[in-house]
Amino acid sequence: MKMSVPVYSLKRLAKDLSRERKIPLHAALNRVAQEEGFASWSLLAARLSAESPARELLSQLAPGDLVLLGARPGHGKTLMGLELAVKSVQSGRYGWFFTLEWNMSDLLSGLRTLGKDPSAIGERFEFDNSNAICATYIIDQLASAESGTVVVIDYLQLLDQKREHPELAVQVRSLKAFARDRGLIVVFISQIDRSYDPVASPLPGLADVRLPNPLDLTLFDRTCFLNNGAIQVSAVN
């Protein structure tokens, strides 16, 4: 299905419309969906979900994989991370979404944007926005997690913010070892450096990942980069 613009842009249009017309966001989303030929946003989102890149990415991942999901702000990386966790639940597995950015209101908005009824997600989905999030905290929370569980961490660079936590490289290695040992799929959402030029390259790559402190990016098994509705999934050599 081809939209007039990528779905993240449709969501942005709806937010702008909501502010300008002083109408609820769900009403603005419905109006935007109608412009795309759908009776409601939920119908548009359901169609997108059926053809979702998240579904395709999840099918390529195996227990023990460490994944980097990167894009510039506003290009849909957090929504895609959330969708990976939700699709894990829908496939009968568990999904965890750890975030140092979102609150519960953001989560509910994200689920509705994906066309998901929050009340229907079920108990296999876990949302955690504790200020204590770091590798040790995540490992403790996942002590009894089943193999195949999808764990999304929003986002990589924020694990490096507090001095009392180990350096980022140590945390990523710990999570990689834990994922391999327990058969988990761990997805890090990542910022892309401002120096990335979409004119020079249509999609960012590992060299464009913003790293305030050193990190061996070959620790990741796969990468997924987004830009302007395009997506590229690659194995890390």
Which domain does 130 fall in, by range? 53-235
Residue 46 confidence (pLDDT)? 73
**Pair 91, 154 in one domain:** yes
**In this structure, what token pair is assigned to residue 150?**
């999808």
Closest CA to 193 of 228, 233, 225: 225
- What is the DSSP secondary structure assignment for residue 113, as one 8-state letter? H
**Pair 196, 207 in one domain:** yes
Residue 31 confidence (pLDDT)? 92
Q: Which residue carries 């892309």 as its tokens?
A: 192
Going residue by residue through the chain, which has 237 residues, state the pLDDT in tens, using 9 for 90 and above: 455 556 667 877 888 899 899 998 889 989 988 988 888 888 887 776 655 788 889 999 999 999 999 999 988 899 999 999 999 999 999 999 999 999 999 999 899 888 888 888 999 999 999 999 999 999 999 999 999 999 999 999 999 888 899 999 999 999 999 999 999 999 999 999 999 999 999 999 999 999 988 999 999 999 999 998 889 999 997
> How far apart (Å, rounded) are the C-alpha atoms in residues 124 and 81?
16
E strand or H helix at 95:
strand 95-99
195 lies in a domain?
yes
**Pair 33, 105 in one domain:** no
pLDDT tens column, 111-131: 988 888 888 899 999 999 999
**Pair 61, 137 in one domain:** yes
Domains in the chain: how many in total? 2
200 lies in a domain?
yes
* Whether the Cβ atoms of residue 33 and residue 24 lie closer than 8 Å to each other: no
2 lies in a domain?
no
- Please return the burial class of 15, using the count of CB atoms within 10 Å of its CB with bins 0-12, 13-18 and 19+: middle
User: pTM of whole model > 0.75?
Assistant: yes
Closest CA to 87 of 128, 130, 116, 47: 116
Residue 159 confidence (pLDDT)? 93
**Pair 183, 94 in one domain:** yes
The number of angstroms, rounded, from the C-alpha of 22 to the middle of its chain's C-alpha atoms is 29
**Pair 44, 91 in one domain:** no
Domain of 118, CATH number, reads 3.40.50.300
**Pair 201, 213 in one domain:** yes
Three-class DSSP category at 84: helix
